[in-house]
Chain A
Amino acid sequence: MRRLSLIVVVLLLLVPAYALITAPATLLWQTYTAVGMVIAANVLRRLRDYRWALAMMGLSVIASTRYLYWRLTETLPLGPEFNLWDQFLAAGLIGAELYAYVILILGFIQTIWPLHRKPVPLPPDPSQWPTVDVFIPTYNEPLKVVRPTVLAALALDWPRDKLNIYVLDDGRRDEFRQFCETVGVTHLIRGDNKHAKAGNINAALKKTRGEFVAIFDCDHIPVRSFLQMTMGTMIVDPKVSLVQTPHHFFSPDPFEKNLSTFRKVPNEGELFYGLIQDGDDFWDASFFCGSCAVLRRTALEEIGGIATETVTEDAHTSLRMHSRGWRSAYINIPQAAGLATESLSAHVGQRIRWARGMAQIMRVDNPFLMKGLKFGQRICYMNAMLHFFYGLPRLIFLTSPLAYLLLGADIIKAQGWMVLAYAAPHVILATITNSRLQGPFRHSFWAELYETVLATFIIVPTALAVVNPKLGKFNVTAKGGIVDRDYFDKDIAKPYYLLFSLNLVGMAVGFTRLLLNDPHPDTVALNIGWTLYNLMITGGALAVASEKRQVREAVRVRTKLEAAIRLSPDDGAWLTNTLDVSYNGVALTLPDGVAPQVGQRMQVLLTPSRSDTWIDIDVKRVGRGIVAGRIAEMTIAQESALVQALFGRADAWMQWRERQDLDRPLHALLAVARHGLRGSRNFFQWLGSSLLARARRPAGTNAA
């Protein structure tokens, strides 16, 4: 009955919507319509009740559909006055616009009602709690990356007789075996490395027996409450196959590092873990992300283990479980944290793998054709996969104005002002609505920057994966490295400076045409504005390619923990607090009355209310009320105390999202523009110095 009434309401709304979408208008009336829609969206944006956000979505869909209806019915260059070249370029642009429209609509459906699921209580008697195997797969990561994860897993709050921890070492390394023996966890190896991480987990599944399996990437350090936050959902509903939690990163990714936006602007992954997975959860379509999740063994066994046909085995596995009727859950509380990729090249490599994997799944198990899925699941999975096909459309948007400015091609059969009157409400309403929905997790205009950086690199892998899903191999993302100097990564930046230069030339030609009294000044001006926007975005990409130095091997986490210091075991202690802590060092507020010397060894006790393990540090810096030191070689007990104080606290990552600035679209536009300007300046500096170096080089060297 309720569904029927909903359908009736939707059908009743469709009639006026259809009239609004298809009504022809003169430039004046379309301008009135555009202004009215933008005002309405701005009013709705200020209303905090979430139902108004639904109204905004509806308005945005109407504006975008009206624009596309107009584009398809009135602006396509069909007729004898247009040549094949015009029509080819026009087809590219309209294809890109249709793709963006489909992604917009699917995104609205996917995130229409984020579920915000809460943890479910566990049975009062812990003897009734199930057994859990913790898997930590590793291949070539150094032991220093894996150690904290293992020590944190040992500190998980779960009955000791029901918790087994396994390091799944595909590198078959002796130092790993020794470490596992020392700390008391099981070191599992297999005879080959077939099917990479998926094969590694499947091999471990055959050798273990726990009712549930928690999986952590070897650099994802769990907090102690992880299992108690997730397992209640599993126990209360026997059809839940997996409970996923966010992937939280305590180190800056290349965007955050190179643009200095760490903890100020939401990073690339926050939209997915902050909003999209919560939205998926409403449709029972939240999926496994390879780490920080618990899976039910019976569900895994029913589908034959982790999927091995694609390189994104995690999403593929959950797709198969959903198609068998299993449910999934997402708890949006950070319960583990890890290292982000350090360099842009490593980041690009990781995203290429994701893109290729999603394209492979679309070919192997297309969610629109697969049996057993619900409507919402099909939409969510399809959007997750189609999203990674943004490479070509993004490239088209970055070059389309050049078709008119440089090649003289008429790809839109309309006057400039008319295009503006129709396109502006489409773009502005989509931006405002997304800002309302995604504000805390993705600032306006940053998606363009993130996509532009990756666009050219994912076009070929996704296309190849669609043609032949078996092409390519699994590449492991490098973590825990250093960037030893500032440098402009000219290799990875090639597409950006090519696009930047082309748009620069396009803009110069546009201004020249204006000065020469072009017969269509409005169209030229519109395209100049478009190239200016493209210059801003590609300039931002160039700024991301300007790698900043990162010399600390261990990331410092700014955190205020209670602590105590003493100069030697026989001395009295001073209570203080930490300013930042890393795996290698610690900085503390210097209490009055204590005067350590540089080079002196002293002792630190982190969280004295919960630990009595003192850690030795060598003082490196004293002054301005701060004492900082390097942590001396630790025993396992000391290392465990450090891990539990720094990474393992249940509330360790709780406040991170709240410290970020809220989204304001115009401010975000200015911020992206500033990064664009900085990237342009870096590019010109690099270009100037390169040309100068080439000019100074002896003639014979060039020939060689």
Chain B
Amino acid sequence: MSDKKPGDDDVQQLLRDLQLGNLQYREFTAPTAAKLRLAGGKPQEPAVTLPADPAVVPAKPAPDARLAAGVPPLSAAAPTPALPPAAAPRNAATRATALDTTSPSVTTAVHESPLNFTFERLRRQVIPARAAVPQLNLQLPPRQRVILQPRLARLRQRALAEVFAALAQTPADKRQSS
């Protein structure tokens, strides 16, 4: 996780390719590439021509095209914007629900919530650590059981009175004796 800023590169890619993931950019005014006659004499089409979305046909001529054609203005001082029936305001909630087919998260953060900076995060870090436990080959000598025979034999040879006397010692006596 880094605190890199919003992914301007991503947005630039979107604008360059008109598509990024599920983001689709649409142009409603088709760019009109110039047909240049270069000074060398041969005509040249510009290298880059970005076509407008064929599915999108402007309902009215583009403003600059209309202006160039000398078409009268849309409206004057009397403010009566003509909205077609399709554009009439509807209930925002129902419309948004109907349109919500992509269902992306509204609050998508580049980095995660600080509220995750708790046990859940630690747990997730621990799981992969367990899955790939490092294998250490220490090459230790074989383990052997070691029995102190002389001490065991001596203990077995004790008289019963001696055994009881040992049991009768209090913890305080033991500490003092040691």
Q: Which candidate, A21-29, A186-194, A510-518, is the interface stretch facing chain B? A: A186-194
Contact B114 A184 (CB under 8 A): no
Q: Does B130 contact A (CB under 8 A)?
A: no
Which of B77, B86, B110 contacts A177, CB < 8 Å?
Answer: B77
Partner of A2, one of B102, B107, B120: B120
A 145-164 to B, binary, CB cutoff 8 A, 1 in contact else 0: 00000010011011111101
Minimum distance in angstroms from A152 CB to a CB of chain B:
11
Contact A53 B3 (CB under 8 A): yes
* CB of A646, distance to nearest CB on chain B (Å): 14
Query: Does B23 sit within 8 A of A, measured CB to CB?
Result: yes
Minimum Cβ distance to chain B for residue A7 (Å): 10
- A161 contact set on B, CB distance < 8 A: 59-60, 84, 86-87
Please report which residues of chain A, range 129-172, place their CB below 8 angstroms from some CB of chain B when the two chains form the complex.
Answer: 130-131, 133, 151, 154-155, 157-162, 164, 166
Say if the beta carbon of B148 comes within 8 Å of chain A: no
Contact indicator per residue, chain A 593-631, by CB within 8 Å of chain B (1) or not (0): 110000000000100111111000000000000000000
**CB atoms of B89 and A123 under 8 A apart:** no
Instruction: Say whether A641 faces chain B, with CB atoms less than 8 Å apart.
Output: yes
The reply on B5 being an interface residue by CB < 8 A is: yes
Chain B residues whose CB sits within 8 angstroms of the CB of A159 once the complex forms: 28, 56, 58-59
A611 to B50: give the CA distance in the assembly, Å.
Answer: 11
Min CB gap A276→B, angstroms: 14
Which residues of chain B from 74 to 121 have any CB-CB distance to chain A below 8 Å in the complex?
Answer: 74-77, 79, 81, 83-84, 86-90, 92-93, 95-104, 106-111, 113-120
Contact of B24 with A126 in the complex, beta carbons under 8 Å: no
A392 → B minimal CB distance (Å): 34
CB distance from B22 to the nearest CB of A (A): 5
Q: Mark A168-184, 1 if CB is under 8 A from B, else 0.
A: 00000000010011111
Give residues of chain B (1-44) contacting chain A, Cβ–Cβ below 8 Å: 1-3, 5-8, 10-12, 15-16, 22-29, 31-41, 44
Contact A157:B28 (CB < 8 A) given known A237-B106, A297-B89, A640-B64: yes
Please report the C-alpha to C-alpha distance between residue A51 and residue B97 in the assembled complex, in whole angstroms. Answer: 36
Q: Is A123 in contact with B104, judged by CB distance below 8 angstroms?
A: no
Report the separation of the CA atoms of residues A126 and B114 in the bound assembly, to the nearest whole angstrom: 37
* A609 in contact with B60 (CB, 8 Å): no
Q: How far is the CB of B10 from chain A (nearest CB, A)?
A: 8
A651–B16 CA distance with the chains assembled, in angstroms: 9
**Does residue B126 face the partner (Cβ distance < 8 Å to A)?**
no
Q: How far is the CB of B177 from chain A (nearest CB, A)?
A: 44
Interface contact A333-B27, CB-CB below 8 Å = no
Say yes or no: A608-B23 contact (C-beta < 8 A), given A118-B108, A183-B73: no
Are B2 and A238 in contact, with the CB atoms below 8 A? no
A residues in contact with B98, CB < 8 Å: 128
Look across to chain B and name the residue whose beta carbon is closest to the beta carbon of A208.
B81
Report the Cα distance A71→B128, complex, angstroms: 48
B169 close to chain A: CB less than 8 A: no
Given A127-B86, A637-B68, A640-B63: A182 and B106 interface contact (C-beta under 8 Å): no
Q: How far is the CA of A154 from the CA of B65 in the complex (A)?
A: 11
Residues 94-139 of A at the B interface (beta carbon under 8 Å): 112-124, 126-128, 130-131, 133
Q: Which residues of A contact B28 (CB under 8 A)?
A: 126, 157-160
Q: Is B172 an interface residue (CB 8 A)?
A: no
Contact call B107/A51, Cβ cutoff below 8 A: no
- Chain B residues in 8 Å Cβ range of A182: 67, 73
Give the complex CA separation of A127 and B5 in angstroms. 33
- Contacts A115-B109, A162-B87 hold; do A564 and B36 have CB atoms under 8 A apart? yes
A333 to B5, CA, bound (A): 10
Contacting B34 at CB < 8 Å: which of A210, A211, A612?
A612
Cβ-based interface call for A15 (8 A)? no
Judge if A317 is at the interface, Cβ distance under 8 Å. Answer: no
Residue B47 CB within 8 A of the other chain? yes
Q: How far is the CA of A40 from the CA of B139 in the complex (A)?
A: 41
Residue from A157, A184, A562, A564 within 8 A of B63 (CB atoms)? A184
A3 within 8 A of B: yes
B178 at the interface (CB under 8 A from A): no
Task: Provide the bound-state CA to CA distance between A574 and B37, in Å.
Answer: 9
Q: How far is the CA of A471 from the CA of B90 in the complex (A)?
A: 41
The answer to whether B107 touches A117, judged by C-beta atoms less than 8 angstroms apart, is: yes
A240-B106 contact, Cβ under 8 Å, with A49-B2, A211-B89, A612-B33:
yes
Note all chain B residues with C-beta closer than 8 A to A116. 5-7, 109-111
Is B142 interfacial (CB-CB < 8 Å)?
no
CA distance A126 to B56 in the complex (A): 7
Among candidates A48, A185, A572, residue contacting B39 with C-beta atoms closer than 8 Å: A572
A166 and B79 in contact (CB under 8 A), knowing A113-B111, A637-B64? yes
**14 pairs of residues in contact across A and B, judged by CB atoms under 8 Å:** A50-B111, A51-B117, A159-B59, A185-B75, A209-B88, A235-B95, A236-B106, A296-B92, A440-B5, A573-B39, A608-B34, A611-B33, A637-B64, A658-B8
Given contacts A49-B1, A440-B5, A611-B33, 7 further A-B contacts (CB under 8 A): A123-B101, A128-B95, A184-B73, A224-B29, A237-B106, A571-B39, A654-B12
Q: Report which B residues bind A (CB closer than 8 A).
A: 1-3, 5-8, 10-12, 15-16, 22-29, 31-41, 44, 46-50, 55-56, 58-60, 62-64, 66-68, 71, 73-77, 79, 81, 83-84, 86-90, 92-93, 95-104, 106-111, 113-120
Query: A residues bordering B, Cβ < 8 Å?
Result: 2-3, 5-6, 9, 48-51, 53-54, 112-124, 126-128, 130-131, 133, 151, 154-155, 157-162, 164, 166, 177, 180-189, 207-211, 224-225, 228-229, 232-233, 235-238, 240, 282, 296-298, 329, 332-333, 440, 562, 564, 566, 571-575, 593-594, 605, 608-613, 635-637, 640-641, 644, 650-651, 654-655, 657-658
Closest 8 CB pairs of A and B: A572-B39, A610-B31, A612-B34, A609-B46, A161-B59, A154-B63, A238-B96, A50-B3
